[in-house]
Amino acid sequence: MYLTIQETADFLSMPETKVSALVLQGRIRAVHDGEQYLINQGQFSTHFEQVEKYRMMIQEFLNEPIPEDIDVKDED
């Protein structure tokens, strides 16, 4: 499904000017039909999957218990 810059900005929760700048920089792939840029929505699915994967990895790391230090000696 192709989206306009305005629809893409709404989809990504970003300002239209930022999306336009990313399209002109080539960081977002788009097709120009003579009047407007059309952006394939499917290119963002991989990005969102990777963000969710990294979010889960960070959450697992933060939830991991702190191991006991094996170098601590008993002073009894």
In a domain, 26, yes or no: yes
Q: Which ranges of the chain does DSSP label H, i.e. alpha helix?
A: 5-12, 16-25, 43-63
Structure confidence by residue, pLDDT tens digits, 59-73:
999 998 887 776 666
Query: Would you place residue 3 in the very low, low, confident or very high pLDDT band (cuts 50, 70, 90)?
Result: very high
Angle, helix 5-12 to helix 16-25, in steps of 10 degrees: 110
pLDDT at site 75: 63
In a domain, 8, yes or no: yes
Q: In 10 A of CB 41, how many CB atoms? A: 13
In a domain, 71, yes or no: no
In a domain, 70, yes or no: no
In a domain, 23, yes or no: yes
In a domain, 72, yes or no: no
pLDDT at site 72: 64
Asked if residue 76 has pLDDT above 70, the reply is no
Global pTM reads 0.64
Number of domains forming the structure of the chain: 1
Asked if residue 17 has pLDDT above 90, the reply is yes
In a domain, 73, yes or no: no
Phi and psi, residue 31, nearest 5°? -115, 135
Domain extent at residue 57: 2-63
**CATH code at position 34:** 3.90.105
